[in-house]
Amino acid sequence: MPSDSTYDAIIIGGGPAGLTCAIFLGRYRRRVLVIDNGKPRNYASRAIHGFLGQHGIAPGELLKKGRSEAIEAGVEICECTADDVQRVGDVFEVTTSSGVMRARRVVLAYGVRDELPDVPGVEDYYGGSIFHCPDCDGYEVRDKMVGVIGWGPKVVGLSLKLTQWTDKLTVLTHGHERDFGEELMSKLLASGIGVKDEKIVRFEGKDAMVRAAVLEGGEEVAVDALFFTIGVHRSCELAERIGCTQVEGTPCLVVDDYKQTSVEGVYAIGDLVPGSQLAITSAADGAIAAIAINKSLLPPSKLV
């Protein structure tokens, strides 16, 4: 169980961002607690791509290694859920399913969640051949037949981005009215990307590999993979409760160059902040925040 005494930092979220932050702070010999409920954004992914020296590693294996390194650096880890964060005088009180913990600094690293298409059986294929991140998995679908699910302007941007890897693309609006105009439609057509407006009733495939999206009218759209862009939201409301400012129109929080939010002493890293949402950039965020947090905890006599 976590100590009753005050930590230098409590990190909420044990993904690449949170664990990297914890490792650096541990190496600064700070007292650090990581709170993690074991529900990462990439829970369904089979492999992490583009992480230097770890390309293709399973997400669970990367986190297992990260936890081991954090513990070796003296970091404590509590497998629980954070329910509330409040400032009490000079410290923060973090209420969790395992009790109340206190810290001089708090790091929000709990990430975001993607809204999946409401198609029966989507979970059977998610992470194997249905993806949300082209930067992570676009290379894996090169020259394949790819469907892109969505109905807003973002589906146009995602589809055009995927043309870097394949020219066999079809937008599937899943029965929704197209929320993009003729100008964007003309960009799709100019790139040879067709649009199917009927609702998807099911996927056909085997062993996590999709082979077709079956439409309401019976048409089977042949695909080797699917991407989607429907909606993203923060995985909990801790940031709102403590008063962090949000980037308008996004689930991200406003942070400065050192990852501090609008609330002094509260930092945000990983998918909660603007920028590329990759495992490797999330880890970099963790390191940047840790260096800043350590400096903020130094007494004036140690600063020049």
Q: What is the pTM of this model?
A: 0.94
pLDDT digits (tens, 9 = 90+) for 88-137: 999 999 999 999 999 999 999 999 999 999 999 999 999 999 999 999 99
What sign has the CA pseudo-torsion 32, 257, 51, 134? positive
Cβ atoms within 10 Å of 282's Cβ, excluding its own: 28
What sign has the CA pseudo-torsion 278, 281, 283, 286? negative
**Given this model, what pLDDT does residue 174 score?**
98
Query: 72 or 4: which carries more pLDDT confidence?
Result: 72
- Domains of the chain, by residue range, sit at 7-113+231-302, 116-228
End-to-end CA separation in angstroms for the chain:
38
Residue 40: partners with Cβ closer than 8 Å, 6 or more residues away: 15, 59, 63, 111
In angstroms, rounded to a whole number, what is the distance separating the alpha carbons of residues 250 and 31?
A: 33
Which whole number is the average pLDDT over 27-36?
98
Q: To the nearest whole number, what is the mean pLDDT of the chain?
A: 96
CATH pick for 116-228 out of 3.30.230.10, 1.10.8.60, 3.50.50.60, 3.30.420.40: 3.50.50.60
Confidence band, pLDDT 50/70/90 cuts, at residue 41? confident
**Given this model, what pLDDT does residue 109 score?**
98
pLDDT digits (tens, 9 = 90+) for 136-151: 999 999 999 999 999 9
Confidence band, pLDDT 50/70/90 cuts, at residue 169? very high
What sign has the CA pseudo-torsion 7, 8, 13, 16? negative
Which whole number is the average pLDDT over 281-285?
97
CATH pick for 7-113+231-302 out of 3.40.50.720, 1.10.510.10, 3.50.50.60, 3.30.70.120: 3.50.50.60
pLDDT higher than threshold 80 for residue 1: no
Which whole number is the average pLDDT over 193-207?
97
Which whole number is the average pLDDT over 29-42?
93
In angstroms, rounded to a whole number, what is the distance separating the alpha carbons of residues 54 and 62?
A: 8
What's the token pair of residue 102? Answer: 């206190």
pLDDT digits (tens, 9 = 90+) for 211-259: 999 999 999 999 999 999 999 999 999 999 999 999 999 999 999 999 9
**Given this model, what pLDDT does residue 124 score?**
95
116-228 matches 7-113+231-302 in CATH topology: yes
pLDDT higher than threshold 70 for residue 3: no
Q: What is the DSSP letter of 237?
A: S
In angstroms, rounded to a whole number, what is the distance separating the alpha carbons of residues 255 and 271?
A: 12
Residue 176: partners with Cβ closer than 8 Å, 6 or more residues away: 151
Q: Which residues, listed in sequence order, are joined to residue 35 by a DSSP beta bridge?
A: 12, 78
**Given this model, what pLDDT does residue 88 score?**
96
pLDDT higher than threshold 80 for residue 2: no
210 phi and psi angles, rounded to 5 deg: -75, 145
**Given this model, what pLDDT does residue 42 score?**
84
DSSP secondary structure letters along 79-143: ES-EEEEEEETTEEEEEETTEEEEEEEEEE---EEEPPP--TTHHHHBTTTEES-HHHHSGGGTT
Cβ atoms within 10 Å of 126's Cβ, excluding its own: 21
